[in-house]
Structure 1
Amino acid sequence: MVIETFKAGLKPVGERFARSGRMLPDNVSYIASWMESSGARCFQIMEAPNVKALTPWLDFWGDIVEFEVVPVQTSADFWAARKG
């Protein structure tokens, strides 16, 4: 999960997205996102082989977005890995 906090508000993020798109590396997939009701933060589910794969994307947006990357998995996968 990627938690984005917009450093300068929504406008710069919206403008860059309209101009350049999401700009994800080839090995990263966008799954879904949810916006905080105030518009200050976005919570995104991304699929990537590892956290390092997100680096080019984080770098592209890092001047206007602060990121917290939290590796997550489904509850089913979590519990299945702990059996046996």
Structure 2
Amino acid sequence: MQKFMVVEKFKPGLMEKNYQVYNEKGRQFPAGLHYLNSWVNAEKNICFQLMESNDIKLFEQWFAKWEEFVDFELIPLDN
């Protein structure tokens, strides 16, 4: 499986609403997209998620569910 780093930059003023949706619905990953680990920066406005999948298009589906709250950057990693 291919590994990816997802950089999530939370949009100003939407952190509370983001966590409300997260607590109600979870991460909402499509089948085939796998979470491995995550870290948040000291300012708590950027999250780094290590993930893996065999289908890069699954990220588009997942990003669409959160684009109201987060700007995403997807970085493919060497295995």
| 1:23-59 deviation per Cα after TM superposition (whole angstroms, max 9, x unaligned) | 0010100000000010010000111113212111100
Deviation at 1:10, TM superposition (A): 2.2
Unaligned ranges ≥5, structure 1: 78-84
Q: Which has more strand, going by share of residues?
A: 2
- What is the aligned partner in structure 2 of residue 28 from structure 1? 33
Unmatched segments (≥5 aa) in structure 2: none
Q: How many percent of aligned residue pairs carry the same amino acid?
A: 31
Determine which structure has the larger helix proportion and give its number.
1
Normalised to the residue count of structure 1, the TM-score between the two structures is 0.81
Which 4+ residue blocks in structure 1 deviate beyond 2 angstroms? none
Aligned-residue RMSD, C-alpha: 1.1
Contact 2:9 2:70 in 1 (8 A): yes
TM-score (norm 2): 0.86
Residue 63 of structure 1 pairs with residue 68 of structure 2? yes
Counterpart of 1:48, as a letter, is S
Structure showing greater Rg: 1
Paired residue total: 74
The structure whose RCO (Cα within 8 Å, separation 6+) is larger is 2
